[in-house]
Amino acid sequence: MAPVLTHSNRSRHLAAGLALLLALMVLMALASLAVGARAIPLGEVINALFDPGTTGTNATILRDLRIPRTLLALLVGAAIGLSGAIMQGVTRNPLADPGLLGINAGAALFVVLGISIVGLTTLTAYVWLGFAGAAIATVLVYAVASLGREGATPIKLALAGAAITAAFGSITTGVLMTDATTLDAFRFWQVGSLAGRGTDILVSVTPFLAAGIVLALVTGRLLDAMALGDDIARGLGQRVLLSRCVAALAWIVLAGGATAAAGPIAFVGLTVPHAARAITGPSYRWILPYSAVMAPILLLGADILGRVLAPPGELQVGIVTAALGAPLFILLVRRRRLAEL
Amino acid sequence: MNTMPQPHEFIDIGADVAGIREALARRRLVVIGGLALLLAALFTAAMVMGDYPVTLPEILTSLLSPFTGTTQKGIDFIVLGVRLPRALVAVAAGVAFGLSGVLFQDVLRNPLASPDIIGITIGSATAAVAAIIVLHWGGGWLASAALVGGLATAGLIYLLAWQQGVSPYRVVLVGIGIGAVMTAMMSYIFTRARLVEVQEAVTWLTGSLNGSQMKDAVQLGAEVIVLGLLLIPLSRAAGALELGDDTARALGSRVERARFLLLGVGVTLCALATAVTGPIAFVSLMAGPIARLLLGPSGGAIVPAALTGAAVTLCADLIAQHLFFSVQLPVGVVTGGIGALFLIAMLITANRTGRTS
Amino acid sequence: MLKPLLTATFALLLSALPAVAEWTYTDGGGKTVTLPDVPKRIVAHANVAAGLIPLGIRPVGIYVDGPVKDDPSLRGLDLTGIEILGEAWGEIDIEKLAAAKPDIIIAEYWPLEKAYSGLEPGGGANGELIEQIAPVAGPIQGNSTEGLIKDYESLATLLGADLGDPAIAADKAKFETSKAAFQAAVKAKPGLNALAVWAGTDALYVASAAGSAELSDFVNWGLDVISPEIADDRGYWETVSWETIDKYQPDLVLVDDRAGPATLATAEAQPTWKTIRAVAKGQVGDWPAFWMRNYKVYAEQLDKLTATINVTDDTVGD
């Protein structure tokens, strides 16, 4: 009797799982179009989708608010999930999360400086400011971590991240303490929200996020090799420095773009890769696509819940993801042995 | 047949070891002495610097006034009512934060571990924000809320991380999870509050020594001394912990209990200090590593870490008060900046020895 | 325990003595401050300065919640010779305050938080410590800006101001004219209603008149300000998702202007802003929220609002 090829069986199972998750994601997206703070009948939803000529408040809301918001949730979700997985792979630290490595602090600082010094308070301005800040913070983190012989080892990256977060955080707080208007605008941005993000935001970030997602999915092989340790990776013929750079680029674009668009949504990037790994096992070739699909599902779910839990207002997605995600995460921590990478 | 080393060989080996031990002990004394001197200098600066014009003889007269009975109305208020309590609270809080940081780092064996990062400070902070904005508490009630919040969160984290014992890894992970929930709660409260209330809360959250009173200093000082004394018997167990669980167990210390008590002391110190000053960023994180850097291999970082914490806090407060001409900032802003510079310096120098802590 | 006992005994003894107090002021929080003479050296919170300086009382020092140039209540005031004791919320420089040797510290009393501006119990400079330098007192943040300005008038008189001074009297007269014009404009359009809002990036916040002193004034003078159905637990704001902002259809929308034009810009960036019919017709005005403290500024703002009301079509809304 021919031996069972476990590997390809497993691959087939995982592929099937991924397809299922994709279907679930599409369902969630449709739900996101149909459900919101304003009750719009399903018939009108379908009408507005297929007939671009429909007018009226409901049509405006669907076209200009819900569709961009849903698309943004998909992109931002995928971006967060992927960047979290990459970060955990590169730093070999299961606690890596964009928040821990300076990106949120960088975005926040630039947003605060933009509001305070230049007086910019539109969402589009936040996007560019946030992106610039996140990019600069990451570059600084990498630069600082690379000082010295060994280059950017995981521990040094984490320490550098903490250092930059501290530095930027202290300037940010200093500004907030002395400028009430900035505080007033900032306290809403820093919750993490997809509300009010329309077509112009979507258009600004899509090129970056799309490029980032493609780049990220390609790094699966690189991350698998890096997980074995730098020496083995080199032995397998991989250029460690180049790999790190490629991964870092993907990570800056994704995490920076996501934070720029929606504000800091800190928890998803940490939890989703762990959940993905619990299903797929340690190979990044599977963890990455699974993260890319599971994260939007979580984000959309949280966003939809947020829209209906506090009528006539909404609960921001950043709050719901933490409220949902943290207990799930703790359950995960207790139930399974979360392996070191 | 007689392959055992001869007595004189024993003595030689003994002499080497004794020599090394002596050198290390001397280094430790030098470090502790140096830190104490630095602290004294900073304390003097804190008493002397300020916007109210007071001369050195006037300061001394004020300080001695409880004994001599000579009072100088305005000056006594400034020296004994403003500067002295502020400096004392800075020292007490610095010691508390420094000690809690080094205890966390020792027990969890991670140079990044500190109550800040584990999520306990967030517990105090969330309780305080809720108390300020929702309940409009202040003063003693607010401090109690922060204290209860910090301790309750610590308890919750411990309970959730406990599964036939507590692995440091799980504590950190659960701490991060709880921290995220608390941050979300705070963010929610911030978006629902009036701007004035948010300003109050942000001020508290930054960590400030402005308005420190003598009763705060005395209370916190007493608490720190009592808990510090508790550490003396426990620190013997702490020494064993650095060798790893297996070795420690073989040496007979009851690892689980020692860990629990040490973390408990660390958490309590942090919660008590936070209740008085608000969470002063990064002092707990910095104190231990700085002390270790100074001590080198001579170990025994607890006392130096306490002194370092006090020195950092006091120095940061002086900078926060006097660096900018027109505006006075809260101390937490400066410790954040110093924390960053320090961490970067750590990264640059650490690689020489291949160690990162 | 000992302290209240001593205080009570002391008070009892004091009350037995013949009255020596020359200057008494009972403030908005019900606290009575007694001083041997009329206080000459005053330290004031920025909002209080905005109330007292136009009435002729100049403090020796002020403390501000943020940078002086950004504070809307201090706009247009001459602050030469006044020392700035703090430009960050809660970080008043205690030593500078003591060095200024104030006789009294005047700050507004917030009844909900039960504390004084910048000295709230939750954070910031510890009120107890500051009380040891000089007593803290001030008018109450109540439900009428006109009432607050009147409180400042009585306080200023107590402090020795001459309200009959031509410049001061002219300001008040101008205010009375503007108020009358406002009332007439509103009366001429009985069906007019207004909505007061603050625009955030992720939601619109509708204000309740009960939570705002100037909106309460407008209501008392005849303007129909829409009350949100579900104001939050304090009764101040209702959070409305951008999807459902057409819930309220006023004739006139008043946008919080503390942050200048930024708030309106945030609203205009939203695709659903124009679903409020009044906005589509351009019937949007400014709401001078929480920063007015004197007749001159109030008159200017009322004139602006009256002009807007006069051109507002009151059939647009519900």
Place of tokens 């599409």: A26
Q: What residues of A are in contact with residue B184 (Cβ under 8 Å)?
A: 318-319, 321-323, 326
Domain count of chain A? 1
Helical axes A6-34 vs A42-50, angle rounded to 10°: 100
Q: Is A310 on the interface with C (CB under 8 A)?
A: yes
Judge whether A167 lies within some domain.
Answer: yes
Q: Is the pLDDT of residue C94 over 50?
A: yes
- Render pLDDT for C156-177 as a digit per residue (tens, 0 to 9): 999 988 888 899 999 999 999 9
Place of tokens 């739900």: A31
Domain count of chain B? 1
Of residues C66, C244, C269, nearest to A178 (C-beta): C66
Read off φ and ψ for residue A51, nearest 5 degrees: -115, 100
SS (H, E, C) A179-221: CHHHHHHHHHHCCCCCCCCCHHHHHHHHHHHHHHHHHHHHCHH
pTM of the model: 0.79
CB contact under 8 A, B204 and C123: yes
Q: What residues of A are in contact with residue B188 (Cβ under 8 Å)?
A: 191, 315-316, 319
- Render pLDDT for B158-203 as a digit per residue (tens, 0 to 9): 888 777 766 766 777 777 778 778 888 888 888 888 777 888 888 8
Judge whether A294 lies within some domain.
Answer: yes
- Render pLDDT for A287-315 as a digit per residue (tens, 0 to 9): 999 999 999 999 999 999 998 888 777 88
Confidence band, pLDDT 50/70/90 cuts, at residue B246: low
CB contact under 8 A, A322 and B112: no
Domain range C166-310, CATH class:
alpha beta
- Supply the DSSP symbol for C140: B
CA distances, A2 to each of A9, C234, C281, C302 (Å): 14, 74, 78, 91
The listed range with the strongest mean pLDDT (A48-62, B14-28, B92-106) is B92-106
Q: What is the pLDDT of residue B117?
A: 62
With beta carbons less than 8 A apart as the criterion, state whether A77 and A92 touch. no
Of residues B77, B194, B210, nearest to C125 (C-beta): B210
Q: What is the pLDDT of residue B253?
A: 56
A/C interface, count of CB pairs below 8 Å: 101
How many Cα atoms are found within 13 Å in the side-chain-facing hemisphere of A251? Answer: 33
Q: What is the pLDDT of residue B95?
A: 96
Closest approach of A176 to chain C, Cα-based (Å): 9
Q: Which domain holds residue A246?
A: 15-335
- CA atoms of B18 and A338, how far apart (whole Å): 45
Of residues C70, C88, C275, nearest to A57 (C-beta): C275
Judge whether B239 lies within some domain.
Answer: yes
Judge whether A153 lies within some domain.
Answer: yes
State the virtual CA torsion across B24, B30, B31, B33 in degrees, nearest 10: 140
Report ipTM (2 d.p.): 0.79
Interface of C with B (CB under 8 A): 65, 84, 86-96, 98-99, 101, 110, 112-115, 120-130, 132-133, 232, 234, 236, 239
- Render pLDDT for C220-241 as a digit per residue (tens, 0 to 9): 999 999 988 876 666 678 888 8
CB contact under 8 A, C243 and A38: yes
Q: Which of A39-53, A229-243, B50-64, C170-184 has the lowest mean pLDDT?
A: A229-243
- Render pLDDT for A152-168 as a digit per residue (tens, 0 to 9): 676 677 777 777 887 88
Confidence band, pLDDT 50/70/90 cuts, at residue A341: very low
CATH of the domain at B221: 1.10.3470.10
- Best C45, C126, C132, C232 member to test B by mutation, with max B CBs in 10 Å, is C126
- Render pLDDT for B311-326 as a digit per residue (tens, 0 to 9): 999 999 999 888 876 6
- Render pLDDT for C240-254 as a digit per residue (tens, 0 to 9): 888 888 889 999 999
Q: What residues of A are in contact with residue B180 (Cβ under 8 Å)?
A: 266-267, 270, 322, 325-326, 329
Q: What residues of C are in contact with residue B330 (Cβ under 8 Å)?
A: 91
- Both structure tokens of C177: 């004219």
- Both structure tokens of A335: 């139930």
Judge if the upstream peptide bond of residue A312 is cis by omega within 30 degrees of 0. Answer: yes
CB contact under 8 A, A177 and C88: yes
With beta carbons less than 8 A apart as the criterion, state whether A209 and A79 touch. yes
- Best C241, C246, C257 member to test A by mutation, with max A CBs in 10 Å, is C241
Q: What is the pLDDT of residue C8?
A: 62
Judge whether B1 lies within some domain.
Answer: no
Strand, helix or coil for residue C206: strand
- CA atoms of C39 and C48, how far apart (whole Å): 15
- Render pLDDT for B223-245 as a digit per residue (tens, 0 to 9): 999 999 988 887 776 555 556 66
Judge whether A70 lies within some domain.
Answer: yes
- Best A173, A181, A277 member to test B by mutation, with max B CBs in 10 Å, is A173
Q: What is the pLDDT of residue A191?
A: 86
Residue range(s) of every CATH 3.40.50.1980 domain in chain C = 17-158, 166-310
- Best C119, C120, C198 member to test B by mutation, with max B CBs in 10 Å, is C120
Judge whether B2 lies within some domain.
Answer: no
Confidence band, pLDDT 50/70/90 cuts, at residue C123: low
- Render pLDDT for A199-256 as a digit per residue (tens, 0 to 9): 888 988 899 899 999 989 888 888 887 777 777 767 766 677 777 778 888 888 898 8
CB contact under 8 A, A166 and B190: no
Domain C17-158, CATH among 3.40.50.1980, 3.30.160.60, 1.20.1070.10, 3.40.30.10: 3.40.50.1980
CA distances, C116 to each of A85, B142, C59, C123 (Å): 50, 17, 17, 12
Q: What residues of C are in contact with residue B326 (Cβ under 8 Å)?
A: 84, 87
Q: Tell me the mean pLDDT in the region B255-282.
A: 84
Q: What is the pLDDT of residue B354?
A: 46
With beta carbons less than 8 A apart as the criterion, state whether C168 and C54 touch. yes
Of residues B74, B194, B204, nearest to C98 (C-beta): B74
Judge whether A10 lies within some domain.
Answer: no
- Render pLDDT for B208-218 as a digit per residue (tens, 0 to 9): 888 788 888 99
In angstroms, what is the C-alpha Rg of chain C? 22
- A142-148, Cβ contacts within 8 angstroms, sequence gap of 24 or more: A142/A248, A144/B344, A144/B347, A145/B347, A147/B344, A147/B347, A147/B348, A147/B351, A148/B347, A148/B348, A148/B350, A148/B351
Q: What residues of A are in contact with residue B172 (Cβ under 8 Å)?
A: 95
Of residues A150, A183, A267, nearest to B202 (C-beta): A183
Question: Pick from B278, B270, B275, B273: which is nearest to B143 by CA?
Answer: B275
Q: Tell me the mean pLDDT in the region C195-205.
A: 88
Q: Which domain holds residue B259?
A: 7-353
Q: Is A69 on the interface with C (CB under 8 A)?
A: no
CATH of the domain at A126: 1.10.3470.10
Question: Pick from B306, B294, B318: which is nearest to B94 by CA?
Answer: B306
Q: Is B156 on the interface with A (CB under 8 A)?
A: no
Provide DSSP, B245-256. HHHHHHTT--HH
- Both structure tokens of B330: 């809260």
Q: Which residues pair with C284 in a beta bridge?
A: C253
Q: What is the pLDDT of residue A156?
A: 72
